[in-house]
A and B are shown apart, each in its own frame.
Chain A
Amino acid sequence: MLFLIPALPFFSALVLILAGRSLNKAAVSVIACGSMGLAAAITLVLGLPFIQSGGHVIVQHLWTWMQAGSFSAGIDLRLDALSLAFVFVITFVGFLIHVYSTGYMAEDADYSRFFACMNLFVGAMLLLVLADNLLLLYFGWEGVGLCSYLLIGFWYKDPANGYAARKAFIVTRVGDTAMAIALFMLFQYTGTLQIQQILDQAPQLWAAGNSTIVLIAFLLLGGAVGKSAQLPLQTWLPDAMAGPTPVSALIHAATMVTAGVYLIARTHVLFELAPAAQTGVAVIGAVTLLLAGCSALVQTDIKRVLAYSTISQIGYMFLALGVGAWSAAIFHFVTHAFFKALLFMGAGAVIVAMHHEQDMFKMGGLRKQLPAVFWVFLIGSASLSAIPFITSGFYSKDQIVWLAWSSVHGHTFYWIAAITGAFLTAMYTFRMVFLTFYGSKVSHHTPHAPGNSMMVPLYILALCSTLAGFVELPHTMGHVTLFSDWLQHVLPAVQLQQESTALEWTSQLLAAGLTFLGIYIAWVWVIERPDGMLRFSQMPFMRWLRKLWFSGWAFDALYDEMLVHPFVRTARMNRRDMIDRIYTTLARIMEWGHNILARTQSGILRWYIMGVVLGAIVILSVLIWRVNV
């Protein structure tokens, strides 16, 4: 039954690709959402045995994909606790987003193409997380990359969307190449690409700190960084907001960008053997979350705020992975999927209500006009900012913040970064909320409330954002460890330097305090004294800083200067292609010879007879030679 989980979305994608244009919207919706719903139901059914024991594993070998010599790769699916967490999120949140999209994309002409690509994406993502060998994982990896490209450039008639799609594809390609090299090296050393076998063999093949395994781990990290939009490959995600909002919700918030997190968690044994790489993961996570947080602070487009926020939150997950808090990272992934999808869909509702206006400064006062949207958006923002006790984000993020310091790999720097990140998160999140929903009405449009197909998924996700946190409570608050116990069979537990409840309380209080401080500053900034903030931000240093942060720390310009311009320059130098010239020279020599020989065809009969005579002389000379010699 396991194979049905990826097979159903693939099948519905196929149906929609082949016959989608001739079906009416209702049929398309039923096929698309139905397959997702069925996949979610099957996940629940298959997940029941996992509740008793987290060590339960379902393996299904479908067929042998390729066999060459000693290498054999099959379509092997594996469901264990880690992949179940991902599969559950993908199918469940995916199903809700599909339902939401039936409302959001209702007036779009390419309705069936959208759902075909969405289902194809979900199928590929499920294949990625269910894969038992790295080749199938890579297949899913590439599949989600393709679908991301297709969906970002969904409204292809606008060339800017195509540009954003290409940028996403090419930047993640850099990461994919690193990952492919890592797969080659893994195969070279272990002779297999089966994940479990690699994880078993790795400690025997390499001692901890061996340069080969460090290299492999760094290459895998490169792949993860590309897909998850971390430093230095994070430039594609803000531009990927050119796609429709459900796409941003599904792909660039809940699922595809977490593929990197999944990869690192899955190959955690390799990272544990390569401490340098694991430190790299943590450092990248910490730095990225700060960078993205600063950038989110000055954005004007509501979706870009959420994009940078996603980058930042995945930075948290990377930080957790880097300090060895594996299950904490997965926990944060689950809660983040809920509230980020909620926030994106809420933003989508706002955008649709404001007739596709995305600039926050042109919105305002929507609290009174779209109350339902406001409340769910508030719940999501609260979760994102980790408001204590009542939101799931609090439990997951605070766990990471605490473990950033207290884990054996932890460091004060990580903790400071995480805390500052929490402060920034609260600030930009509530800046977004206040700008959009509070204040006086700025726009002239009368927003119309979104329909049920859009609101019901929002309600469900709001509920999950609130309740999902209660499966894992920290030591200080009851020490419920349902989630990490459940994952323990797959991911090792985090080792702490010291168990100190007092220090944990301090960390949590500080985090909560900074959260409220951030909210307060955002309130002052936007509502209370906007003019004061305006004057403050007009100072020259502030203006420069604002420009820097607005462009995402000028990475685009940097890459432009570093990579694009030299490439274009070299391409221009080689305009009359050198390699081509070898072949064209050959052709030109032939032409030259032809022109010379063509002059012998004068059309004058006597010349031709002369040729015959010459030939006769030559033949007779040969005969004479033979007779003589």
Chain B
Amino acid sequence: MSRLGQGRVRMPESARPGEVVEIRALVEHPMESGFRLDNTGKLIARHIVESFVCTYNGVEVFSAKLRPAVSTNPFFSFYIVASGSGEFVFTWKDDQGGVATTKRSLVVA
């Protein structure tokens, strides 16, 4: 069963055309690596976020393929060029079918 939680995004609400702005995105997830041992020394099954995609007006502007080495509550910071007003959609998917989505709007003027 997926333990994917909420996504959280920090980015400006508006930007000038051509401005390069930072986006910070995080999602709640234990990122169980599959290497940890339980209290009787047995391996705890892997359960991780596998992909993170950010689209801007429907076009991918950042994506990541995550592996067990990414820390709990996977965090990314990246930059985008503000090209026009529109919607950002952030989507996280884990290996148990969990999907989390967060949306943001950016006004570019």
B and A form one assembly: no
Residue positions of B touching A, CB distance < 8 A: none
